[in-house]
């Protein structure tokens, strides 16, 4: 009986041309985007420096090596380039400034940063430029700063300092989350339509048990969501890293999405209502993606969003080879939230259909 219900729901789901097209097109599009994006990380921050004539000969090579900086002709050229985003930051030095630095005097050096530069990154540029200027000062007395950094990251290196992560690999957990979103809307719409058309009520007056009805919907939601994200993980070659752990994580994520779809279907009666509520929930679910792309910008309140534990687990498994111990707590939280959402949504739908 449950198998027949699942088969019926699959036919209804793919009979809807919108969801049929968006399902296959979405998977194909995300696979294409993944391979179009750069495979190698670009961890350089381009900077530019303006030096006067004699100083360009004396310190140009030092600036290029120490700061990986490009030398530009004038302050106006530098300002335009930084404003256009060609460089993240720029430094302007004059003969007077360099002479003051050599004599150990306090100087004010203009530093230009690109629009949108965070305060933390701006301060980092200032500190780097300050060290470079101190090298000029020490060089005048034949003394060079000779410090070799030895950085040890405690826990996973989420910023990718020691082992940079490419942009497409950082984006992959978010892509998997977006694939889940397609199933969220599709399943919620399927359940809502059955309620409004009276299909659910008609089925429940037959010998069919209501528990079988909800089990079929649950298995359909989990199965479709899981297969879709599994295809994306396999196509990107990531399925074969910690395969069992990744499969379990994707299954629990599918349970969470199915539970949320049940909740949406309880109060969304028509497709536009389903779309509106789904869009709102998807907006909230997408916020934890910030923790993957920009770990330093994440706030503690973002952990209140259940998808944080899914995205964080996927990021650690796919990009940092995390084991069961590193993500066990995340998976337990996801399992609890998904189970509660599914149970509460089933209870409300039972009342609606009866």
* Domain contains 152: no
* Domain contains 86: yes
Q: Could you tell me the CATH number of the domain that includes residue 98?
A: 3.40.50
User: Which residue stretches of 205-242 are H helix?
Assistant: 210-235
Do 243 and 271 sit in the same domain of this protein? Answer: yes
Strand 69-71 relative to strand 47-50: parallel, antiparallel, unpaired? parallel
Do 267 and 134 sit in the same domain of this protein? Answer: no
Do 247 and 309 sit in the same domain of this protein? Answer: yes
Do 280 and 300 sit in the same domain of this protein? Answer: yes
Do 15 and 85 sit in the same domain of this protein? Answer: no
Do 19 and 126 sit in the same domain of this protein? Answer: no
* Domain contains 145: no
* Domain contains 146: no
Local structure of residue 88 (DSSP, 8 states): S
Look up the domain containing 226 and give its range: 2-38+165-353
Do 51 and 34 sit in the same domain of this protein? Answer: no
Domain boundary among 104, 123, 139: 139
* Domain contains 151: no
**CA 31, CA 259: separation in Å to the nearest integer?**
26
User: What are the backbone dihedrals phi and psi of residue 71, each rounded to the nearest 5 degrees, phi first?
Assistant: -90, 125
Do 204 and 103 sit in the same domain of this protein? Answer: no
Do 17 and 34 sit in the same domain of this protein? Answer: yes
Do 119 and 241 sit in the same domain of this protein? Answer: no
Local structure of residue 327 (DSSP, 8 states): H
* Domain contains 62: yes
* Domain contains 56: yes
- Tell me the three state secondary structure of residue 85: coil
The tally of domains found in the chain comes to 2
Residue 2: Cβ-neighbour burial (10 angstroms; 0-12, 13-18, 19+)? middle
CA 217 to the chain's CA centroid = 29
How far apart are the two ends of the chain, measured CA to CA in Å? 20
Do 210 and 342 sit in the same domain of this protein? Answer: yes
Do 20 and 63 sit in the same domain of this protein? Answer: no
**CA 245, CA 317: separation in Å to the nearest integer?**
8
pTM for the model: 0.72
310 contacts: CB under 8 Å, gap ≥ 6: 177, 249, 252, 253, 256, 288, 330, 334
What is the gyration radius of the CA atoms in the chain, in angstroms? 28
- What one-character-per-residue DSSP string does 133-200 give? HHHHHHHTTT-----------SS--TT-SSS---HHHHHHHHHHHHHHHHHHHHHHHHHHHHHHTTHH
Question: Sign of the C-alpha dihedral, residues 252, 258, 263, 264?
Answer: positive
- Give exposure, 258-291, as e/b (b: 16+ Cβ within 10 Å): bbbbbbbbbebeebebbeebbeebbeebbbbbbb
pLDDT in tens, 47-105: 888 888 777 777 777 777 767 788 888 888 888 888 888 888 888 888 787 777 777 77
**CA 95, CA 76: separation in Å to the nearest integer?**
17
Helix (H) or strand (E) holding 60: helix 53-67
pLDDT in tens, 310-344: 999 998 898 888 889 989 999 999 999 999 999 89
* Domain contains 272: yes
Tokens 């007077």 — which residue?
A: 96
Note down pLDDT in tens along the chain; length 354 residues: 677 778 877 887 788 788 888 888 889 999 999 999 887 766 677 888 888 877 777 777 777 776 778 888 888 888 888 888 888 888 888 878 777 777 777 777 778 888 877 777 788 887 877 777 776 655 444 444 444 445 445 455 555 545 677 888 888 888 988 888 888 888 888 888 777 776 666 665 666 677 777 888 889 889 999 999 999 999 998 888 788 999 999 999 999 999 998 888 888 778 788 888 888 888 888 888 877 777 666 677 888 889 999 999 998 898 888 889 989 999 999 999 999 999 898 888 877 776
Phi-psi region of 155 (alpha: psi -120 to 50; beta: other; left: phi over 0): left
Strand order across the beta sheet in which 47-50 lies: 69-71, 47-50, 89-92, 111-113
């Amino acid at each position: 009986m449950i198998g027949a219900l699942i088969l019926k729901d699959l036919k209804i789901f793919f009979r809807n041309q919108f969801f049929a097209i968006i399902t296959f097109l979405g998977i194909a599009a995300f696979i294409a985007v993944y391979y179009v994006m750069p495979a190698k990380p670009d961890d350089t921050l381009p900077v530019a420096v303006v030096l006067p004539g004699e100083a360009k000969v004396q310190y140009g090579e030092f600036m290029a090596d120490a700061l990986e900086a490009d030398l530009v002709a004038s302050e106006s050229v530098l300002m335009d380039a930084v404003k256009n985003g060609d460089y993240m930051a720029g430094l302007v030095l004059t003969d007077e400034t360099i002479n003051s630095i050599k004599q150990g005097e306090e100087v004010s050096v203009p530093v230009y940063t690109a629009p949108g530069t965070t305060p933390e990154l701006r301060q980092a540029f200032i500190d780097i430029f300050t060290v470079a200027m101190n090298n000029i000062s020490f060089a005048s007395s034949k003394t060079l700063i000779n410090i070799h950094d030895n950085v040890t990251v405690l826990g996973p290196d989420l910023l990718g300092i020691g082992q940079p992560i490419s942009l497409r690999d950082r984006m992959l957990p978010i892509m998997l989350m977006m694939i889940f979103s397609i199933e969220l809307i599709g399943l919620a719409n399927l359940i809502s339509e059955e309620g409004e058309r009276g299909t659910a009520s008609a089925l429940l007056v037959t010998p069919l048990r209501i528990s079988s009805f909800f089990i079929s919907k649950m298995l359909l939601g989990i199965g479709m969501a899981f297969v879709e994200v599994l295809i994306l993980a396999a196509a990107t070659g990531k399925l074969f890293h910690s395969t069992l752990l990744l499969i379990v994580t994707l299954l629990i994520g599918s349970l969470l999405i199915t539970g949320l779809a049940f909740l949406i279907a309880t109060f969304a009666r028509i497709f536009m209502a389903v779309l509106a509520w789904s869009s709102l929930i998807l907006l909230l679910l997408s916020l934890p993606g910030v923790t993957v792309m920009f770990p330093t910008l994440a706030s503690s309140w973002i952990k209140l969003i259940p998808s944080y534990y899914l995205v964080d687990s996927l990021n650690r498994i796919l990009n940092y080879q995390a084991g069961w111990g590193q993500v066990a707590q995340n998976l337990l939280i996801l399992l609890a939230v998904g189970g509660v959402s599914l149970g509460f949504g089933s209870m409300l739908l039972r009342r609606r259909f009866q």
